[in-house]
């Protein structure tokens, strides 16, 4: 779905509020004030707070699907290079979209049915299908080993990245990075995550167990 500039402005403000205060703790009035618009404009553009949350998910997931599709259709890269690019895209996304990832983590636990839950499931299936396609491509070329549990591999990749980002305040303290600015710290963990996950990925895909 295409969104206007005004809709995107409202969605991004709502996303931050949902991340900070939770869906139930955020009112339509809060969103309108944050976006600097009349209260009625939220209903005009989205219909309800629930539909606004769905629009946030629809927008973020739509962007992710396009990025994954672009990676799949790169013909000048090896299968491992495509997987590494997927890691770069994924890690960059969760670093830059931390408010959305906080909402996503919460919604996966709180809501297991409904439109938002279906959107999350679609996103997971898109990731799964992309990784599966890349692995099968690599196996046909003899680049990857034959016996790979794709679900567990994805759990390792996504779980490692999400855990670090959602608990980064502990990582920061445990590794004495308190003196770094938020921008510098985010750049540091993005680089570390990329390298670490790529190391795990290569070992899982290319070395026989």
pLDDT digits (tens, 9 = 90+) for 5-49: 999 999 999 999 999 998 889 999 999 999 999 989 999 999 999
How confident is the model over 191-200, as pLDDT tens digits? 999 999 999 9
Residue 208 pLDDT: 66
Residues 123 and 61 sit within 8 Å (Cβ to Cβ): yes
pLDDT value for 98: 86
- Reading the block at residue 48, the tokens are 């309800």
pLDDT tens across 31-41, in order? 999 999 998 99
Please report the pLDDT score of residue 172 as a whole number.
94
Q: What is the pTM of this model?
A: 0.82
Q: Quickly count: other Cβ atoms within 10 Å of residue 145's Cβ.
A: 15
Q: What is the pLDDT of residue 209?
A: 58
* Helix H or strand E segment including 105: helix 98-110
Q: What are the DSSP calls for 83-100, one per residue?
A: HHHHHHHHHHHHHHTHHH
Percent of the chain with pLDDT over 70: 99
CA pair distance 134, 138, nearest whole angstrom: 6
Contacts by 65-69, CB closer than 8 A, 24 or more apart: 65/123, 65/126, 67/93, 68/126, 68/127, 68/130
Q: Set out the domains of the chain in order of their start, with CATH numbers.
A: 49-206 (1.10.357.10)
Q: Which residues of the chain have pLDDT under 50?
A: none
Provide the pLDDT for residue 176. 94
């Amino acid at each position: 779905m295409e969104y206007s500039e005004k809709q995107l402005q409202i969605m991004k403000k709502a996303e931050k509020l949902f991340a900070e205060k939770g869906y139930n703790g955020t009112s339509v009035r809060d969103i309108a004030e944050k976006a600097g618009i009349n209260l009625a404009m939220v209903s005009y553009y989205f219909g309800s707070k629930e539909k606004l949350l769905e629009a946030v998910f629809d927008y973020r997931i739509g962007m992710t699907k396009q990025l994954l599709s672009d990676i799949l259709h790169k013909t000048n890269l090896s299968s491992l290079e495509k997987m590494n690019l997927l890691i770069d895209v994924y890690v960059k996304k969760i670093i830059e979209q931390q408010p959305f990832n906080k909402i996503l983590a919460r919604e996966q636990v709180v809501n297991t049915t409904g439109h938002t839950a279906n959107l999350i499931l679609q996103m997971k299936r898109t990731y799964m299908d992309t990784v599966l396609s890349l692995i099968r491509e690599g196996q046909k070329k003899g680049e990857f080993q034959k016996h790979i549990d794709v679900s567990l591999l994805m759990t390792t990749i996504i779980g490692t990245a999400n855990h670090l980002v959602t608990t980064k305040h502990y990582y920061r303290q445990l590794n004495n990075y308190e003196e770094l600015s938020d921008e510098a710290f985010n750049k540091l963990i993005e680089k570390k995550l990329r390298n670490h996950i790529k190391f795990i990925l290569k070992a899982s895909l290319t070395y026989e167990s």
